[in-house]
């Protein structure tokens, strides 16, 4: 049985990962400062540590518990905030990672599974779907920090023998996603339509993303955990969905009479992003199983149930 630390485990993706790790019989510890996550997302069977990834206390935690694996999902994940405050983004996403890795290398950490990003690392595509060999052109401090994190993980692998798997996610969506902020358009549209509030599409809505359901992302993390060695893999569907289509699918699930409204485009917004998963399929045995319509239906159902009981 592995002893695993999940950072950001009170948040959207990492709480689902924690559930899956516990189902596998692992000893799971969750580290989260609750700045964005919710305590209710942390599984009862996990050991919870309310802590900032930049804290000096992480060294004491690694020393006292002795983790085999770090599933690193905690992050400053708002691209627009990273543009407005690059220093804060780097402080959380880079200094936080280095703090964890220094704590880990002194305490026999064996492996890291890292939540990276597809769209923000590659930039607008030269070809689609974008594979891992596509030129890397991050245009935001957030994307730059994720790419830099991968280089740091390479350093720790070659210097200290800590294996790593970096998973470059598409646009992850599903139950527990936080609708308050800029990072989750599916959650934002869903909650606003369910409460009868206006939901606005930025610009003409023709910008595309690769929407991947959280359940598929969790499977990728479990396969990465079992992967012998290190590597970088896209986790997406290779299918583009534009924002207009996304809105209409969600609207038709909730109230087909809702008006489609557009707002000003966000300056500098990437127009296309779609990821190849061929390498993940060949080396991890992973491929997406939930199509966007089914995933959105399940997401709307969860939000509807959650809002009715909150």
Any bridge partners for residue 49, and if so which? 31
| pLDDT for res 303 | 96
Which segments of the chain are extended strands (E)?
A: 3-7, 27-32, 47-50, 69-72, 111-117, 163-169, 171-173, 200-202, 208-209, 211-213, 231-235, 241-242, 261-263
Q: Walk me through the domains of the chain, giving residue ranges and CATH numbers.
A: 3-172+211-235 (3.40.50.720), 174-209+240-273+290-309 (3.90.25.10)
pLDDT digits (tens, 9 = 90+) for 246-280: 999 999 999 999 989 999 887 767 889 999 999 99
| Residue-level pLDDT at 181 | 58
Nearest to 213, CA basis, from 16, 7, 34: 16
pLDDT digits (tens, 9 = 90+) for 183-234: 689 999 999 999 999 899 999 999 999 999 999 999 999 999 999 999 999 9
Q: What confidence score (pLDDT) does residue 79 get?
A: 86
- Which band of pLDDT confidence, cut at 50, 70 and 90, is reported for residue 282? very high
pLDDT, tens digit (0-9, with 9 covering 90-100), for 83-100 = 999 999 999 999 999 999
- As a whole number of angstroms, the longest Cα–Cα distance in the chain is 59
Asked if 4 and 49 touch (Cβ cutoff 8 Å), the reply is no
Q: Are 209 and 119 in contact (CB under 8 A)?
A: yes
Q: Please give the structure tokens belonging to residue 169.
A: 């996610």
pLDDT score, position 308: 67
Please state, in angstroms and as integers, the Cα–Cα distance from residue 206 to each residue in 97, 209, 272, following that order.
35, 10, 9
- What is the tally of helices (H) and strands (E) in the chain? 12, 13
Over pLDDT 90: what percentage of the chain? 88
pLDDT of residue 309: 61
C-beta separation of 214 from 172 below 8 A: yes
Place of tokens 């409460």: 195
Whether the upstream peptide bond of residue 129 has omega within 30° of 0, thus cis, is yes
Task: Indicate if the alpha-carbon torsion angle 99, 100, 101, 105 is positive or negative.
Answer: positive
Buried b (16+ CB within 10 A) or exposed e, 242-273: bbbebbbbbbebbeeebeeeeeeeeeeebebb
Output phi, psi for 199, to 5 deg. -120, 125
Question: Is 310 a residue whose pLDDT tops 80?
Answer: no
Q: What is the pLDDT of residues 1-49, one digit of tens each?
A: 699 999 999 999 999 999 999 999 999 999 999 998 999 999 999 999 9
> Known catalytic residue: 142?
yes
The predicted structure's pLDDT at residue 184: 86
Catalytic one of 108, 122, 127, 142: 142
Q: What is the pLDDT of residue 1?
A: 63
Separation of CA 218 from chain center:
10
Closest among 241, 240, 229 to 283, alpha carbons compared: 229
pLDDT digits (tens, 9 = 90+) for 47-61: 999 999 999 999 999
For the chain, what is the radius of gyration of the CA atoms?
19
Q: Is the pLDDT of residue 235 over 70?
A: yes
Q: What confidence tens digit (pLDDT) does each residue in 108-150 have?
A: 999 999 999 998 999 999 999 999 999 999 989 999 999 999 9
pLDDT(182) > 90: no
Burial of 304 (0-12, 13-18, 19+ CB in 10 A): middle
């Amino acid at each position: 049985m592995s002893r695993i630390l999940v950072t950001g485990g009170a948040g959207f993706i990492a709480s689902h990962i924690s559930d899956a790790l516990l189902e596998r019989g692992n000893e799971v510890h969750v580290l989260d400062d609750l700045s964005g996550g919710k305590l209710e997302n942390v599984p009862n069977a996990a050991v919870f540590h309310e802590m900032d990834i930049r804290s000096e206390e992480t060294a004491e935690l690694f020393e006292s518990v002795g983790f085999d694996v770090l599933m690193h999902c905690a992050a400053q994940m708002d691209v627009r905030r990273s543009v407005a405050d690059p220093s804060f983004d780097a402080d959380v996403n880079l200094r936080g990672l280095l703090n964890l890795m220094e704590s880990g290398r002194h305490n026999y950490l064996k492996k890291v599974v890292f939540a990276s990003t597809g769209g923000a690392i590659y930039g607008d595509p030269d070809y689609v779907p974008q594979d891992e060999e596509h030129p890397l052109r991050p245009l935001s401090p957030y994307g730059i920090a994720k790419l830099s994190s991968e280089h740091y993980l390479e350093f720790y692998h070659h210097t200290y023998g800590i294996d790593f798997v970096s998973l470059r996610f598409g646009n992850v969506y599903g139950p527990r996603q936080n609708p308050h902020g800029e990072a989750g358009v599916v959650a934002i549209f869903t909650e606003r339509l369910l409460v009868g509030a206006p939901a606005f599409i930025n610009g003409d809505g023709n910008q595309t993303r690769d929407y991947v359901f959280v359940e598929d992302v969790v499977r990728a993390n479990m396969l990465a955990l079992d992967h012998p060695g290190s590597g970088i893999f896209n986790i997406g569907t290779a299918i583009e969905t534009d924002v207009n289509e996304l809105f209409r699918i969600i609207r038709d699930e909730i109230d087909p009479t809702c008006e489609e409204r557009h707002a000003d485009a966000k300056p500098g917004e990437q127009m296309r992003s779609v990821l190849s998963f061929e390498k993940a399929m060949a080396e991890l045995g992973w491929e997406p199983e939930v199509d966007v319509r089914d995933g959105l239906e399940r997401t709307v159902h969860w939000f509807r149930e959650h809002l009715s009981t909150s």
